C-alpha cells in the first residue's frame, strides 16, 4: 500500500492485545509502517493470525521487537525513527496481587519508561490508553454528565487495584509531560467497556462476562450497567488522536453513548441473535442478594462495586474535536456475541 502515510512509522506497545491488534490492523490499512512490542517473540505468530482475521494479508510494513514494560532493554530500538507511539500495553498479572502496589508501580513505571524513551528518540506524540476508571469513579453528582474534566480519586473507597493503577499511571504521564516531556506531545484515550469483534480465541474480561450470560452460567442476571464502546472505534480514536493537531494535551472518553444493563444485553441478544442466546436467562438478580452472596462468593464480591456505579458520560469531545463517529452499543455487543461463537466459546 502506498500513500501519504507510507513513510510514517508508528510503534504500538502490546500488539498481541485486543485493542493493540485492532490498532495495528487500521494502521496497516492506512499505509503506515508499524512496529509492535511483544514481551516474547513466541507471540509473533499469534499476532500474525490475529491480523489475518482482521483482513491483513500482507505484513511487509510490520516489524516486531521484544521488550518488557518493566525493563529498559530494547526501548531505544523500539522507538528508533518512530513518528508516533500508541501506548496500549499494560503490565500483565497472572494472579491477583497481594498488595495493590504490585499492580500500581509497574503501571506507572512502564508508562514513564515508554514516555522517556519516546522523548529521547524525538517522537512527535504518544497516545496512551487509559480507561474510564481514571475518569468517572469518584463522580457523585448524578445530575451532571461525566466528561474528560472529571478525575477519579485514587483513594476512592472500593476502587480496584486495576483502576487505581490506571488513574495513577495517567496522572504520572501528564505530570511527566509537564515537567520533563520537552517537545513530546501526549493524548489519552479513556475507553468504557470494550466489546466488538475479537481477532483471537483469547478473550478479554468483557467477553468472559458476556459468555456467562449467554451460556446460562448466570441463572439470574445482576443489574450491572455498562458503558460500551466497539474495539474498532477505540482503535480509530487512537489514530485520530495521534494525528489531529487539537488532540495534543487532551484526553478523550471513548463510549458509544448511553448505557446498557446486563439484563438489557440478555434481552437484546435473545431478540437479535436467538440462536446464540438460547440459554441466556432474563431473570434479574436483586442487588440485595448479590450483597448477601458477596460474604461467601468471590464472584459476587467482585460484582458489588459495579452495582451502583454511575456511568452516564459524554462522547461529545471526541465527536466534536476529532470527528469520531462510533458504532452503536447494540452493534458492539452483537459483534462480541458472534466472536464467542466464531472461536468456539459458545456452541450453537
pLDDT in single tens digits along all 348 residues of the chain: 455 666 799 999 999 999 999 999 999 999 999 999 999 999 999 999 999 999 999 999 999 999 999 999 999 999 999 999 999 998 665 456 677 887 888 899 999 999 999 999 999 999 999 999 999 988 888 889 999 999 999 998 878 888 899 999 999 999 999 999 999 999 999 999 999 999 999 888 788 889 999 999 888 888 888 899 999 999 999 999 999 999 999 999 999 988 899 999 999 999 999 999 999 998 888 878 878 877 887 767 767 767 767 788 999 999 999 999 999 999 999 999 999 999 999 988
Q: For residues 141 and 309, what is the distance between their CA atoms, to the nearest angstrom? A: 12
Q: What is the 3-state secondary structure (H, E, C) of 110-148?
A: HHHHHHHHHHHHCCCEEEEECCHHHCCCCCCCCCCCECC
Residue 96, exposed/middle/buried by CB under 10 A (0-12, 13-18, 19+)?
A: exposed
Contacts of 27-31 with C-beta under 8 Å, sequence gap 24+, read 27/239, 28/1, 28/56, 28/59, 28/61, 28/62, 29/1, 29/55, 29/56, 30/3, 30/5, 30/239, 31/1, 31/2, 31/3, 31/4, 31/5, 31/6, 31/61
154 neighbors 172 (Cβ within 8 angstroms): no
Q: Which residues partner with 222 through β-bridges?
A: 285
164 in active site = yes
Q: For residues 83 and 10, what is the distance between their CA atoms, to the nearest angstrom? A: 6
- CATH numbers and ranges of domains, the chain: 195-228+256-348 (3.40.50.720)
Of the residues 164, 179, 278, 301, which is catalytic? 164
Cα dihedral value 205, 100, 68, 25, nearest 10: 30
Q: What is the pTM for the complete model shown?
A: 0.94
Residue 3, C-beta contacts closer than 8 angstroms, at least 6 positions apart: 30, 31
Q: For residues 77 and 338, what is the distance between their CA atoms, to the nearest angstrom? A: 39
Amino acid at each position: 500500500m502506498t500513500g501519504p502515510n507510507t513513510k510514517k512509522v508508528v510503534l504500538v506497545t502490546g500488539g498481541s492485545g485486543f485493542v493493540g491488534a485492532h490498532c495495528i490492523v487500521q494502521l496497516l490499512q492506512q499505509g503506515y509502517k508499524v512496529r509492535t512490542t511483544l514481551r516474547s517473540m513466541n507471540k509473533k505468530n499469534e499476532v500474525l493470525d490475529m491480523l489475518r482475521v482482521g483482513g491483513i494479508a500482507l505484513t511487509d510494513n510490520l516489524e516486531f521487537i521484544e521488550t518488557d514494560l518493566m525493563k529498559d532493554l530494547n526501548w531505544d530500538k523500539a522507538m528508533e525513527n518512530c513518528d508516533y507511539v500508541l501506548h496500549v500495553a499494560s503490565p500483565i498479572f497472572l494472579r491477583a496481587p497481594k498488595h495493590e502496589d504490585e499492580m500500581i508501580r509497574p503501571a506507572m513505571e512502564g508508562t514513564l519508561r515508554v514516555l522517556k524513551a519516546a522523548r529521547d528518540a524525538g517522537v512527535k506524540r504518544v497516545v496512551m490508553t487509559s480507561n474510564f476508571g481514571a475518569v468517572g469513579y469518584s463522580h457523585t453528582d448524578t445530575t451532571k454528565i461525566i466528561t474528560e474534566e472529571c478525575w477519579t480519586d485514587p483513594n476512592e473507597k472500593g476502587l480496584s487495584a486495576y483502576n487505581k493503577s490506571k488513574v495513577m499511571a495517567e496522572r504520572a504521564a501528564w505530570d511527566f509531560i509537564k515537567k520533563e516531556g520537552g517537545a513530546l506531545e501526549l493524548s489519552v484515550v479513556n475507553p468504557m467497556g470494550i466489546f466488538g469483534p475479537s481477532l483471537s480465541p483469547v478473550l478479554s474480561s468483557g467477553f468472559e462476562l458476556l459468555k456467562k450470560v449467554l451460556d446460562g452460567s448466570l441463572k439470574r442476571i445482576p443489574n450491572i450497567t455498562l458503558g460500551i464502546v466497539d474495539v474498532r472505534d477505540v482503535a480509530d480514536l487512537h489514530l485520530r488522536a495521534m494525528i489531529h493537531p487539537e488532540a495534543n494535551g487532551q484526553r478523550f472518553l471513548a463510549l458509544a453513548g448511553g448505557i446498557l444493563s446486563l439484563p438489557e444485553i440478555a434481552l437484546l441478544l435473545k431478540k437479535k441473535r436467538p440462536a446464540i442466546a438460547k440459554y441466556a436467562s432474563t431473570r434479574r438478580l436483586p442487588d440485595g442478594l448479590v450483597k448477601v452472596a458477596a460474604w461467601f462468593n468471590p464472584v459476587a464480591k467482585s460484582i458489588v462495586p459495579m452495582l451502583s456505579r454511575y456511568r452516564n458520560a459524554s462522547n461529545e469531545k471526541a465527536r466534536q474535536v476529532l470527528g469520531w463517529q462510533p458504532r452503536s452499543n447494540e452493534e458492539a455487543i452483537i459483534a462480541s456475541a458472534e466472536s464467542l461463537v466464531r472461536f468456539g466459546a459458545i456452541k450453537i
